[in-house]
Chains A and B, each alone.
Chain A
Amino acid sequence: MQFRLVRYFTLASLGMFALVALSLIYFERQQGNFFRQTGDEQRTFFGEVQQSFAKQQEESARRDLLTIHESGNVNLTRLFANALWEKDFAPFVAQVQAIDVDGCQAIADITDDQGKKAVPPEKKACFADIGKRITTLPGFKAIDAKVFDSMKKSTVFKIKVFDLRGITVYSSEHAQMGEDKSTNEGWRSAAFDGVPKSELTHRGKFSAFEGVVENRDLISSYLPVLDPGSSRIVGVFEVYSDVTPFLKQIQQTSAQIRATAAGNQQKLEAAGAENQAAVDATSHRQLATIAALLALLFGALLVIVTRADRIIQQQEADRAQVHQQLAQSEKMASLGQMVAGVAHQLNTPLAFSQNNILMVKDALQSMELPMKVAGRLSSILEDVEGDKVTIKVSQLKANLDKLQDGNVDVAMLQEMLKDVLGGIDQMSELVVNLRDFTRLDRAATTNADLNKSLHTVAYIAQTVIPKNIELIEEYGELPEVECNPSQLNQVFLNLINNAAQAIEGPGRIRVRSSAAGDKVRIEVQDNGRGIPDHVLPNIFDLYYTTKPAGEGTGLGLAIARNIVTEHGGDISVSTRVGVGTTFTVTLPVRQQPPLAKAA
């Protein structure tokens, strides 16, 4: 099969380029996705960090606020206790202790629909009654006035005082007097553990010293009251202080931080999108560039390969042409050699035939006069009756020389003409052999008697090779062989000529034939110089020759082997330096169908 360079190259490289392009696109996309994912993750993480930062900040601000106010409230309570407890509240609380609250406290709590414990209304009413009783106690009004007086214009909105039973002994909001806080976490912490407990709450409506206020953020602290001069807890204060402006500030700061964070997040997202777009654009550019480069590479390679293909084809054509020319010149050379030999062979019979005919012609001319004389004499004799005739010989005597010249040896003339006929036979034999050799007027492939072919070739070869080389023909019985006899003649002539060239001086060439099964075997053996070892492997190579440049084409044996191979046969050589060489051609009697066509 022919190798189609350009087609194979195009298919292979386009396929390869397509693969490269696909894998590049795949990896670019992977990379883009990775960037996108990473960007998203980063943004999310950053957002979360900002969020948590803002939240922490607010929480810490609130905690700080609580802590500051609690400690402020603690101090306030101390001041308040120092100022009011000993003189005013201690006796008042002692009075309240006289009121029995166990009855109210014994009322069981109820569980509401959601499973929460709630205080039943009758319990609330019971404590409210206690509160009313407290407000009726002597000294209440004075204390209330004192508390209001000292708390006016401060951030403290409300003050409550509890005894150690948890009963609201005093509240600046009078409605809450008597309430039970014994179960309250803050009260318990202050009353039992001595630890203040604060809480930040938002109130929609709140009764303050100044009246009812709305929408306020308040910190309420349960604070233990210590007996002055000891660490004994004697009661619990609850102080409500207003932190609405602080909290607003905190909330504002927090909102600011949040806004900044959101802005940052937005910026980050914009930047991320921009980056992603840039990455995508770069990747597209990259892909486009690589695609363009690949296309350029393909174009350049295609040009190179096309050109190379053309050069190779040209070279192939040139080589074929040169080969054909050489084969032709080889044929012409052997033909020329053959023609020279034939010319020489023809020359010999031609030379003596020409010589003899010219001599016979001269003799016939010299016989003209004697023949005339003899003719005249015979006509005279015809007319004469009797046996005596008188002839005047004076004229004949004058031409005696010519008459004597004509007295030629007719037997010799016959010999001469016999030689001429022999010469003509030689020439026609040559012509027949030439025709048999070239076989131009026969079918190319035919069933041929190879012995006859060999004899023809031997005859032709004998005209060329030196006369001191003896050509011995030893032919065995051969079946007719299906072959191209004209081509085989060329092979045999080449082998015999080679054999003759291997012989210096006198020598002997044997041409043998034999049959073996469905094969015939032809041998050309010489007793020449033999083929040296370094030459032997190359003798069938194209263009290999041991002759000087210009004398041998190196095609003879290459062509011979080609012809034999096309016949499905085989050519081999055995040689011994100084002893001689034998070339053996083996040919099948019948051709294989495809080979018959080729041959």
Chain B
Amino acid sequence: MTRLAGKVLCVDDEPGIVRSLQWLLQKQFEVFTATGGAEALELVKQHDFDVVISDQRMPAMTGVEVLREVRRLSPRTMRILLTGYTDMQAIVRSVNESEVFRFINKPWNISELPKVVAQAITIAKTQPVEAPAPEVSDDAPIVANGERILVIDDDPDMGRAVSDLVGASAIVSYTRNLADAVGILNAEPISVIISETRVGSIDATRLVRLMKSKHPEIVTVMLTAESDADTITTLINQGQIYRFVPKPIRTGYLKLVLQSALRKHSALASDPALTFRHTVEATSAGAMESLMSDVRQAAPHAETAAAAKSGGFMASLGAGFRRLFGAG
């Protein structure tokens, strides 16, 4: 029996769950269990865990809170959130505060879970950790070095707000349709994508997920007015989105998010190895094709610069998609 020298901590207030996880994982990994947040954090202080798996719904401390503390105490530890049914607010916080690696739904798949844990352990053991971010105050100016930011949103105010915030230090491209977004992504290296989950009638999360699978150094910030837990779970697991911002958005909060996204990008760019920490699940097959056909259908109705030269548009759009995401 080959036992990977990986240390895993499982946290759930239900003893049945932690025992199950222990039995499932103990063949391959060294498994510790805790039935409460305080106990878990005590163990984190004593041991150097590669992975912490925590249930969200627990008395005293929620899973998001436990994982946030784990991130603070041990940045190299990969964090996985286990949930049955959970509320939107918890998911948003898991993205923004705990920067979780994966969401795992109960009941889990007993063949998949050990694989995800193994992948996380590999990343934790082999990949460097970025330096902890210094605390920044609200009124500090945004630090940027000519990075390119792409804003995809139906609301032009969003593009303007981002432009105003970064000033001349970064280049902001705004578009309200995905065809243009594909064009822009092809034309220039983009550092940060700020995108609404739905643009027009098209689900834009596929573009973000596809971009992230091919270009892990791009930092993605999702905006949304609606709140669908499934969308965000998918975005975490397949898109490794950096921040999730529910609308309506306060300017101060947007500024904080932008600041940290730009910093994240410079870290990822300076050390490509860091991007492994944000490895995504394989996007479902046909995601590119379905996105392409949606964009094509929407294109004639969109008042885009590209649409004007309608002749070569379809061809150039197809080529753009292929160039961006590869043939397969």
Q: Does A267 contact B (CB under 8 A)?
A: no
Q: Nearest Cβ distance between residue A269 and chain B, in whole angstroms?
A: 98
Interface string of B57-73 (1 = CB under 8 A from A): 11111100000000000
Once A and B bind, how many residue pairs between them come within 8 Å at the CB atom? 68
- Assess whether B57 is in contact with A352, with CB atoms less than 8 Å apart: no
* A side interface size, CB within 8 A: 27
Cα-based distance from A422 to B84 in the complex (angstroms): 19
Please, which residues of chain B bring their CB within 8 A of the CB of A347? 84-85, 106-107
Please, which residues of chain A bring their CB within 8 A of the CB of B253? none
Q: Known contacts being A340-B85, A359-B24, is A352 close to B59, with CB within 8 Å?
A: no
Q: Does A108 contact B (CB under 8 A)?
A: no
Please, which residues of chain B bring their CB within 8 A of the CB of A350? 106-107
- Assess whether B110 is in contact with A352, with CB atoms less than 8 Å apart: no
Q: Does A82 contact B (CB under 8 A)?
A: no
A409 to chain B: closest residue by CB:
B23
Interface string of A307-318 (1 = CB under 8 A from B): 000000000000
Q: Does A552 contact B (CB under 8 A)?
A: no
Cα-based distance from A341 to B86 in the complex (angstroms): 10
- Assess whether B59 is in contact with A356, with CB atoms less than 8 Å apart: no
Stretch in B9-17, B169-177, B205-213 with 4+ CB within 8 Å of A? B9-17
Cα-based distance from A348 to B16 in the complex (angstroms): 8
A345 to chain B: closest residue by CB:
B84
Q: Does A354 contact B (CB under 8 A)?
A: yes
- Which of B19, B60, B61, B62 contacts A352, CB < 8 Å? B19
Q: Does A355 contact B (CB under 8 A)?
A: yes
> Which of A341-371 touch B at CB < 8 Å?
341, 343-344, 347-356, 358-359
Please, which residues of chain A bring their CB within 8 A of the CB of B110? 354-355, 358-359
A419 to chain B: closest residue by CB:
B16
- Assess whether A506 is in contact with B23, with CB atoms less than 8 Å apart: no
- Assess whether A343 is in contact with B60, with CB atoms less than 8 Å apart: no
> Which of B55-100 touch A at CB < 8 Å?
57-62, 84-85
Please, which residues of chain A bring their CB within 8 A of the CB of B21? 355
Please, which residues of chain B bring their CB within 8 A of the CB of A355? 20-21, 23-24, 107-108, 110
- Assess whether A422 is in contact with B60, with CB atoms less than 8 Å apart: no
B21 to chain A: closest residue by CB:
A355
Please, which residues of chain B bring their CB within 8 A of the CB of A415? 19
Interface string of A399-427 (1 = CB under 8 A from B): 00000000000001001100100110000
Please, which residues of chain B bring their CB within 8 A of the CB of A343? 84-85
Q: Nearest Cβ distance between residue A508 and chain B, in whole angstroms?
A: 12
Q: Does A289 contact B (CB under 8 A)?
A: no
Cα-based distance from A349 to B60 in the complex (angstroms): 21
Please, which residues of chain A bring their CB within 8 A of the CB of B13? 467
- Assess whether B23 is in contact with A416, with CB atoms less than 8 Å apart: yes
Please, which residues of chain A bring their CB within 8 A of the CB of B85? 340-341, 343-344, 347
- Assess whether B23 is in contact with A359, with CB atoms less than 8 Å apart: yes
Q: Does A468 contact B (CB under 8 A)?
A: yes
Please, which residues of chain A bring their CB within 8 A of the CB of B58? 467
- Assess whether A354 is in contact with B107, with CB atoms less than 8 Å apart: yes
- Assess whether B57 is in contact with A467, with CB atoms less than 8 Å apart: yes
- Assess whether A356 is in contact with B17, with CB atoms less than 8 Å apart: no
- Assess whether A419 is in contact with B20, with CB atoms less than 8 Å apart: yes
Q: Nearest Cβ distance between residue A178 and chain B, in whole angstroms?
A: 154
Q: Nearest Cβ distance between residue B93 and chain A, in whole angstroms?
A: 14
Q: Nearest Cβ distance between residue A401 and chain B, in whole angstroms?
A: 10
Q: Nearest Cβ distance between residue B103 and chain A, in whole angstroms?
A: 14
Judged by DSSP, the binding face of B is: loop
Cα-based distance from A352 to B61 in the complex (angstroms): 22
A422 to chain B: closest residue by CB:
B16
- Assess whether A467 is in contact with B59, with CB atoms less than 8 Å apart: yes
Cα-based distance from A187 to B59 in the complex (angstroms): 156
Please, which residues of chain B bring their CB within 8 A of the CB of A356? 20, 23
- Assess whether A423 is in contact with B16, with CB atoms less than 8 Å apart: yes
Cα-based distance from A347 to B55 in the complex (angstroms): 12
Cα-based distance from A73 to B62 in the complex (angstroms): 155
Most buried by A among B14, B23, B62, B108: B23
- Assess whether B19 is in contact with A348, with CB atoms less than 8 Å apart: no
- Which of B20, B57, B61, B62 contacts A344, CB < 8 Å? B57
- Assess whether B14 is in contact with A506, with CB atoms less than 8 Å apart: no
Cα-based distance from A347 to B12 in the complex (angstroms): 13
Please, which residues of chain B bring their CB within 8 A of the CB of A352? 14, 16-17, 19-20
A363 to chain B: closest residue by CB:
B23
- Assess whether A344 is in contact with B107, with CB atoms less than 8 Å apart: no
Q: Nearest Cβ distance between residue A549 and chain B, in whole angstroms?
A: 15
- Assess whether B16 is in contact with A344, with CB atoms less than 8 Å apart: no
Cα-based distance from A423 to B106 in the complex (angstroms): 14
Please, which residues of chain B bring their CB within 8 A of the CB of A359? 23-24, 110
Please, which residues of chain A bring their CB within 8 A of the CB of B14? 348-349, 352
Q: Nearest Cβ distance between residue B157 and chain A, in whole angstroms?
A: 23
Please, which residues of chain B bring their CB within 8 A of the CB of A353? 16
B18 to chain A: closest residue by CB:
A352
B59 to chain A: closest residue by CB:
A467
Cα-based distance from A412 to B27 in the complex (angstroms): 13
Q: Nearest Cβ distance between residue B229 and chain A, in whole angstroms?
A: 11
- Assess whether A348 is in contact with B23, with CB atoms less than 8 Å apart: no
- Assess whether B60 is in contact with A419, with CB atoms less than 8 Å apart: no
Cα-based distance from A370 to B67 in the complex (angstroms): 43
Cα-based distance from A422 to B14 in the complex (angstroms): 12
- Assess whether A348 is in contact with B24, with CB atoms less than 8 Å apart: no
A340 to chain B: closest residue by CB:
B85
Cα-based distance from A550 to B105 in the complex (angstroms): 28
Please, which residues of chain A bring their CB within 8 A of the CB of B61? 468
Cα-based distance from A144 to B168 in the complex (angstroms): 171
- Assess whether A351 is in contact with B108, with CB atoms less than 8 Å apart: yes
Cα-based distance from A355 to B26 in the complex (angstroms): 13
Most buried by A among B59, B61, B62: B59
Q: Known contacts being A351-B20, A352-B19, is A506 close to B84, with CB within 8 Å?
A: no
Q: Known contacts being A423-B16, A467-B13, is A351 close to B107, with CB within 8 Å?
A: yes
B84 to chain A: closest residue by CB:
A347
B107 to chain A: closest residue by CB:
A351
Please, which residues of chain A bring their CB within 8 A of the CB of B24? 355, 359
Q: Nearest Cβ distance between residue A582 and chain B, in whole angstroms?
A: 23
Cα-based distance from A504 to B24 in the complex (angstroms): 36
Q: Nearest Cβ distance between residue A344 and chain B, in whole angstroms?
A: 4
Please, which residues of chain B bring their CB within 8 A of the CB of A344? 57, 84-85
Please, which residues of chain B bring their CB within 8 A of the CB of A358? 110
Q: Nearest Cβ distance between residue B63 and chain A, in whole angstroms?
A: 11
Q: Known contacts being A358-B110, A419-B16, A423-B16, is A351 close to B23, with CB within 8 Å?
A: no
Please, which residues of chain A bring their CB within 8 A of the CB of B62? 468
Cα-based distance from A353 to B23 in the complex (angstroms): 12
A464 to chain B: closest residue by CB:
B85
Cα-based distance from A492 to B124 in the complex (angstroms): 49
- Assess whether A351 is in contact with B17, with CB atoms less than 8 Å apart: yes
Please, which residues of chain A bring their CB within 8 A of the CB of B16? 348-349, 352-353, 419, 422-423
Interface string of B16-48 (1 = CB under 8 A from A): 110111011000000000000000000000000
Interface string of B150-193 (1 = CB under 8 A from A): 00000000000000000000000000000000000000000000
11 residue pairs from A and B, CB less than 8 Å apart: A347-B84, A347-B107, A348-B17, A349-B14, A351-B84, A352-B14, A352-B16, A352-B19, A355-B108, A356-B23, A467-B60
The 10 closest A-B pairs by CB, nearest first: A351-B107, A347-B84, A352-B20, A344-B85, A352-B16, A351-B106, A467-B59, A355-B20, A344-B84, A347-B106
- Beyond A343-B84, A359-B24, 11 additional pairs, beta carbon < 8 A: A343-B85, A348-B17, A350-B106, A351-B17, A352-B16, A355-B20, A355-B23, A355-B108, A356-B23, A416-B20, A423-B16
Residues on B lying within 8 angstroms of A by beta carbon are 13-14, 16-17, 19-21, 23-24, 57-62, 84-85, 106-108, 110
